[in-house]
């Protein structure tokens, strides 16, 4: 089977993921030791896609610089969504870039190739389908989108439904015909937003065949900063990341792990990373490219993004460090559960030690209370105890 052109929606910011998304879009946040978007592109090429259109918007140059013009043999082209007005509006920006059937998925979710194959096969087999959607038997629908499936057809789409007996989880993977573009234009935005599912509902209301395939496989998303840790755990649990059974399998050839370091599965240490003597990593630890873990440091359920540095004798649990973040020696960030304040909202009982965003720097001996968010390029002096969020670019001294 020849796969159609794929349109990957990667224009959104991910507002609820701040401060991690202040300087980069959600698709470039880490899922394990590589960006979410890279997993999406790998999925597409694994099912035979060789023509990819990326819809970019927020911090689009970051995406284009990272991906380039090819991925694993596939050609990558770009269209821009200048204003983030919903997934349907994003897809409309790609209309002139595709001819014939298309495959659409989100670039900010990790999706198993089996799900994509099931949607492609079902769309081909349906023959007259204007659209085909993948549906998962999964809980937690109130955070995502739902679809009602009746005898192989989608009959209703809803955002954030709470009736798990009625709805299946909409996997956000679609086989589509060109008629989706007219449906989106005729639907129009509501409250300034045009979701792709509104166009699909228009097709349903026109009595066009919108097929639905019940499918299964890894499907993972990140809505809040602590979900980045959950993404890593999902990837370990599903065998996408190496090192689940044998820690040595998770060490990249160019990484340097001291013989006196201890790795407790599952652990991944990416290219050019350094783990110094006496460090204890794991379980569920991802050390990104060119990151450094100092001597005698203890990491558990923690993700270090590329170029992050953790000094000697630090202890981190349930933590996420952004690109180029620096933690001085003796830093302590105990794990959750914790109450986390994001803007004016307080989310209770979340498993989170701390989030240290891109290029923030903490001096030695800093103690971080569970649930603390530290903004990008913040500066925290030595010996400070942090029990409240630190804004971007702020300076905190004793």
Q: Which of 24, 18, 12 is nearest to 54 (CA)?
A: 12
Looking at domain 5-221, what is its CATH homologous superfamily?
Spore Coat Polysaccharide Biosynthesis Protein SpsA; Chain A (3.90.550.10)
CATH number of 234-393: 2.160.10.10
Helices (H) and strands (E) in the chain, counts: 7, 37
For tokens 């997934």, the residue is 87
**Whole-prediction pTM:** 0.90
H helix runs in 171-283, sequence order:
179-187, 196-205, 227-237
The DSSP call for residue 144 is S
For tokens 């089977």, the residue is 1
Phi-psi region of 86 (alpha: psi -120 to 50; beta: other; left: phi over 0): left
Phi-psi region of 295 (alpha: psi -120 to 50; beta: other; left: phi over 0): beta
Question: pLDDT (tens digit, 0 to 9) for every residue of the chain, 398 residues total?
Answer: 467 999 999 998 888 888 999 888 999 999 988 899 999 999 999 999 999 999 999 889 999 999 999 998 999 999 999 988 999 999 999 999 999 999 999 999 999 999 999 999 999 998 889 999 999 998 878 888 899 999 899 999 998 888 878 999 999 999 999 999 999 999 978 888 999 999 999 999 999 999 999 999 999 998 888 899 999 999 998 888 876 677 778 899 999 999 999 999 999 999 999 999 999 999 999 999 999 999 999 999 999 999 999 999 999 999 999 999 999 999 999 888 888 888 778 888 888 999 999 999 999 999 999 999 999 999 999 999 999 999 999 999 97
Q: Indicate the pairing of strand 210-215 with strand 131-136.
A: parallel
| Contact assessment for residue 16 and residue 23, using Cβ atoms and an 8 Å cutoff | no
Angle in degrees, CA 62, 320, 285, rounded to 5? 110
The strand pairing partners of 110, in sequence order, are 220
- The pLDDT value recorded for residue 2 is 64
Q: Which helix (H) or strand (E) holds 247?
A: none
- The pLDDT value recorded for residue 343 is 75
Number of Cβ within 10 Å of residue 307's Cβ equals 20
Determine the Cα–Cα distance for residues 172 and 273; give it in Å rounded to an integer: 34
Q: 3-state DSSP call for residue 330? A: coil
- The pLDDT value recorded for residue 14 is 82
Domain ranges of the chain: 5-221, 234-393
């Amino acid at each position: 089977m020849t796969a159609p052109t794929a349109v990957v929606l990667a224009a959104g910011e991910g507002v609820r993921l701040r401060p991690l998304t202040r300087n980069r879009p959600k698709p470039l946040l880490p899922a394990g030791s590589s960006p979410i978007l890279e997993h999406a592109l790998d999925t597409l090429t694994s099912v035979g896609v060789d023509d990819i259109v990326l819809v970019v918007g927020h911090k689009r140059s970051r995406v284009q610089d990272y991906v380039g013009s090819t991925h694993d043999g596939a050609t990558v082209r770009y269209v821009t969504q200048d204003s983030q007005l919903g997934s349907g509006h994003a897809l409309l920006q790609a209309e002139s870039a595709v001819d014939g059937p298309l495959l659409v998925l989100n670039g900010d979710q990790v999706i198993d190739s089996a799900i994509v194959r099931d949607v492609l096969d079902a769309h081909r087999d349906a023959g007259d389908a204007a659209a085909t959607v993948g549906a998962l038997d999964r809980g937690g629908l109130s955070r995502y989108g739902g679809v009602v499936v009746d005898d192989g057809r989608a009959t209703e789409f809803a955002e954030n439904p709470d009736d798990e007996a009625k709805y299946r989880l909409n996997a956000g993977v679609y086989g589509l015909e060109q008629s989706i573009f007219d449906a989106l234009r005729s639907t129009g935005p509501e409250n300034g937003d045009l979701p792709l599912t509104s166009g699909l509902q228009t097709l349903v209301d026109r009595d066009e065949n919108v097929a639905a395939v019940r499918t299964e496989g890894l499907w993972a998303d990140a809505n809040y900063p602590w979900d980045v840790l959950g993404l890593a755990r999902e990837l370990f649990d599903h065998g996408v990341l190496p090192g689940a059974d044998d820690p040595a399998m998770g060490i990249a050839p160019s990484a340097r792990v001291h013989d006196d370091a201890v790795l407790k599965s599952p652990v991944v240490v990416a290219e050019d990373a350094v783990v110094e003597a006496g460090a204890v990593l794991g379980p569920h630890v991802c050390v990104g490219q060119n990151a450094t873990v100092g001597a005698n440091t203890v990491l558990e359920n923690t993700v270090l993004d590329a170029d992050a540095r953790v000094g000697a004798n630090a202890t981190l649990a349930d933590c996420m460090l952004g690109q180029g973040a620096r933690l001085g020696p003796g830093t302590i960030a105990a794990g959750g559960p914790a109450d986390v304040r994001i803007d004016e909202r307080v989310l209770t009982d979340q498993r989170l030690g701390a989030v240290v965003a891109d290029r923030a720097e903490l001096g030695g001996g800093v103690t971080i209370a569970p649930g603390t968010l530290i903004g990008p390029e913040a500066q925290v002096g030595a010996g400070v105890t942090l029990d409240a969020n630190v804004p971007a670019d702020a300076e905190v001294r004793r």
